[in-house]
Amino acid sequence: MGKKRIIQKTEEELLKEREQVEKALRKESKTKASSSLKEGKVYISSTYNNTIITLTDITGNVLAWKSAGSVGFKGTKKGTSFAASKVAAAIIDVARRAKIRDIQVYVKGIASGRNSAIRSLSGQELNIISIHDVTPIPHNGCRPKKVRRP
């Protein structure tokens, strides 16, 4: 195994990302009477190729999202549990800036990143109210093939 290579973002990219988060927060503070966000929802989509985590307010408006690719992983490393924990750490940082304390977690997918992302979220100062598994489950399956002619 080689060294883990993580792409470091430049200051311009970090400033642009911070402006987007602050813009979303300003828009949210205009719509709500109380300008402080206390509760939010976190959606974790974990596939074999990537892990995407989205932070929303309680009504479902997206505040920020991160993926393993946007954090700096490339190729097959995006599907690892280490990458998922780094993505969760990036979302926790955004949630702190948004002053979100309580979160509801919705998990979708079957890859290894889902467990490490939940562990990373629970290890920080965020209070997890509930964890829901919203993975789609097939019921009745797909249509069978036609019968072969003799």
Task: Please give the Cα distance from 22 to 97 (Å, whole number).
Answer: 9
Provide the pLDDT for residue 35. 43
Residue-level pLDDT at 34: 45
Three-state SS letters, 61-129: CEEEEEEHHHHCCCHHHHHCHHHHHHHHHHHHHHHHHCCCCEEEEEEEECCCHHHHHHHHHHCCCCEEE
pLDDT tens for residues 97-135?
Answer: 888 889 999 999 988 888 999 999 888 778 899 999 999
Pick the CATH number of 19-27+36-133 from 3.40.50.2300, 3.60.20.10, 3.30.420.80, 3.40.50.300: 3.30.420.80
Question: Which residues contact residue 62 at a Cβ distance below 8 angstroms, ignoring those fewer than 6 apart?
Answer: 24, 54, 55, 56
Query: Where do the structural domains in the chain lie, given as residue ranges?
Result: 19-27+36-133
Counting as low any pLDDT under 50, the low residues of the chain are 33-35
pLDDT of residue 22: 84
- Relative to beta strand 102-109, strand 127-133 is parallel
